[in-house]
Amino acid sequence: MRHLMVKLKYDGRDFCGWQVQDGLRTVQAVFQDALWQVLKENVPIRGCSRTDSGVHADEFCVSFSTSCTVPIERLPLALNAKLPPDIAVFDCVTVPEGFHARYDCRGKQYRYLILNAPLRDPFRHTRALWYKYPLDVALLDAQAQDYLGTHDFSAFCSAGSDVADKVRTVTQCGVRRLPDTPEMIEFTVTADGFLYNMVRIMVGTLLEIAAGRIPPDSIGEILASRDRQRAGATAAACGLYLHRVFYDPLSSMTIL
């Protein structure tokens, strides 16, 4: 048996998230079908996360074990030949036996894109949130620093989550205008884990601070309250990207 991990990227607009759901198009179902066509065997696959409907991924990791002898260097091309245009494999690595893309993950980085322009762009409406009012990026970046550290993020978790422990550690957080496209604003956040809709609520809270509906310097109080009603609205899924996935160094991992 060989133990492998592939890295995907996908445009989430026509997917109902990662996890298989009866009668719905999901990333897991589409990828598993392509994998079967290449490997000629049904293998359990383990995704690194459960992205929601409409959410994108710049890097999504999937681990599995196989007895297939297709050379590792040929797997990305072989899989991409069976995948639709909105999903692609861009890397493949070997991993130790027992490796799990989700449970061995040490952290993730998300980014959220906002088109900050007076007029909407039809080519970006499924890939960024359109916000037509001027935004003070320096203010938003300063407010975002209050997310840093170890906190109970209950106020930034949507109802329906079955996770009991809502404490997470945020190690990086920031807001900037992209240098080459200044109308695009990027919010990035890195943490050891994320709750249901956590990033989208973080963004929604910053936008409500920008709009004056939540006072500046309130994020610390919102965190301490653990009250979802105190935080901002959940920002639309279209602007959210799983950007990077982090693992401990693995000496047996061979990166192509």
Number of compact structural domains in the chain = 2
112 and 81 in one domain? no
User: H or E segment at 131?
Assistant: none
Torsional sign, CA 100, 106, 109, 110 = positive
120 and 70 in one domain? no
Angle separating helix axes 137-144 and 198-210, nearest 10 degrees:
130
Q: Domain containing 155: what range? A: 106-243
What CA–CA distance (Å, rounded) separates 47 from 110?
16
- Predicted confidence band of residue 252 (pLDDT cuts 50, 70, 90): very low
The per-residue pLDDT for 173 is: 98
In a domain? residue 187: yes
- Tens-digit pLDDT profile for residues 34-73: 999 999 999 999 999 989 999 999 999 999 999 998 899 9
186 and 237 in one domain? yes
- Predicted confidence band of residue 251 (pLDDT cuts 50, 70, 90): very low
Find all residues with CB under 8 Å of 231, minimum gap 6, and list them.
155, 156, 201, 204, 205, 222
In a domain? residue 248: no
- Tens-digit pLDDT profile for residues 141-193: 999 999 999 999 999 999 877 788 999 999 999 999 999 999 999 999 999 99
Pair of tokens at residue 35: 């994998």
The mean pLDDT value for 128-151 works out to: 98
Is 152 one of the catalytic residues?
no
What CA–CA distance (Å, rounded) separates 19 from 89?
18
Query: Mean pLDDT of all residues in the chain?
Result: 94
- Has residue 32 got a pLDDT over 70? yes
Q: Strand, helix or coil at 138?
A: helix
- Has residue 250 got a pLDDT over 80? no
Find all residues with CB under 8 Å of 140, minimum gap 6, and list them.
175, 185, 187, 206, 209, 210
- The catalytic position among 14, 33, 52, 192 is 52
State which of 75, 103, 131 marks the end of a domain. Answer: 103
228 and 122 in one domain? yes
The mean pLDDT value for 199-212 works out to: 98
79 and 120 in one domain? no
In a domain? residue 249: no
Pair of tokens at residue 223: 């965190």
What CA–CA distance (Å, rounded) separates 233 from 204?
5
98 and 126 in one domain? no
In a domain? residue 46: yes
134 and 64 in one domain? no
The per-residue pLDDT for 214 is: 97
State which of 103, 122, 138 marks the end of a domain. Answer: 103
Find all residues with CB under 8 Å of 196, minimum gap 6, and list them.
157, 158, 160, 161, 163
159 and 72 in one domain? no
pTM for the model = 0.94
State which of 51, 81, 103 marks the end of a domain. Answer: 103
* Cβ(2)–Cβ(94) below 8 Å: yes
In a domain? residue 250: no
